Amino acid sequence: MNLEQLQRAMAAAVMQPLTADEEMQPHNAAGLAMKDVASEFIRPNDRLTAFERLEIYNRQYWFRLQSTFAEDFPALRAVIGEERFDALANAYLQAHPSRSFSLRNLGSKLLEWLSDNPHWAGRRAELAIDVVRVEWACVEAFDNAEYQPLTLSEIAVLGLDSTVSLQPHIQLLELKYPADSLVLELHQRQRRESREAGARSDSDVNGSSSNTRIRLRKKATWLAIHRADLSVYYKNLSRPEYITLAALRDGRSLPEALEAGFTGSRMPATNRVLAVREWFTYWAELGWICQPLVAESGINSKVG
């Protein structure tokens, strides 16, 4: 083998899923015995065969994926239970193996995959999908870009045909459950347990979240998840505010966005004016509004 062939062979062997007993598969996807494959590029030593030496790397690779996945979705794990979560994680990771240099993107397809395969979440599938929406939105809100925001005075002089954009880190969610409170509680618990892990056994740490009693009733919820000062925050929205923000995000003009937001609303006209004033004041204070995101125009400049 040349170097490229060696790297490809090693990667293919290490990245193949483990067996149900967390051992290396006896055969690869082509049907070749892994003991023969391993012997092509790994030497045995006085303690381990070539297969056993390769199996160490195969296990560690998958244990790392499983650990990262669990760290990204602790609330999902608590909602569906530890055993079901482990099965779901393995099924998802086989369907969508890591294709990035960064494990940040590991769960990027989970919402789509779980929506198509809700049986992996059991009887709490609807709640589980909402929880995934919130947990992945937290990842996006923490990582996505931030541009120079418009001030309230700049927003006030915009014309009727003007369009604006939302900061890319803002994630707008329409949920069937108030899953934000559940996710917030469980993420805080995860961080607390991580700090205490040095003084507790793994079974204590791993078991506590899975033993959480989940009692959450359906309630239509509109949510914005955003970043400020390198921290992620949640803000509950009214339905008109959510629809207005979503319309602005989608490139609609200010009048179109407001019309969409109040369609079907029974709020009196005078109250609408006050509501819009409060919205834009709050959005400006948080720096949510920026110029339209047209990269080639050179309008926007990244903050920091």
Rg (CA), the chain: 24
| CB-count burial class (<10 Å; 0-12, 13-18, 19+) for 207 | exposed
Which pLDDT belongs to residue 215? 77
Phi, psi of 269 (to 5 degrees): -60, -40
Angle at 247 between CA 233 and CA 167, to 5 degrees: 40
Q: Which two tokens stand for residue 181?
A: 């409170």
With CA atoms as reference, report the closest residue to 279 among 252, 227, 243.
243
pLDDT tens digits, one per residue of 42-87: 999 999 999 999 999 999 999 999 999 999 999 999 999 999 999 9
User: Are the C-beta atoms of 10 and 61 separated by less than 8 Å?
Assistant: no
pLDDT at residue 230 greater than cutoff 70: yes
Which pLDDT belongs to residue 198? 56
Q: Could you give the angle at which helices 269-286 and 239-249 cross, rounded to 10 degrees?
A: 60
pLDDT tens digits, one per residue of 233-255: 999 999 999 999 999 999 999 99
Encoded amino acid at 254, one letter: L
| CB-count burial class (<10 Å; 0-12, 13-18, 19+) for 142 | middle
pTM, 2 dp: 0.85
pLDDT tens digits, one per residue of 92-110: 999 999 988 899 999 999 9
Tell me which architecture the domain covering 145-178+216-304 has in CATH.
Alpha-Beta Complex (3.90)
* CA–CA separation, 173 and 134 (whole Å): 8
User: Are the C-beta atoms of 127 and 84 separated by less than 8 Å?
Assistant: no
158 confidence band (pLDDT: 50, 70, 90): confident
| CB-count burial class (<10 Å; 0-12, 13-18, 19+) for 106 | buried
Of 110-114, 157-161, 279-283, the poorest mean pLDDT is in 157-161
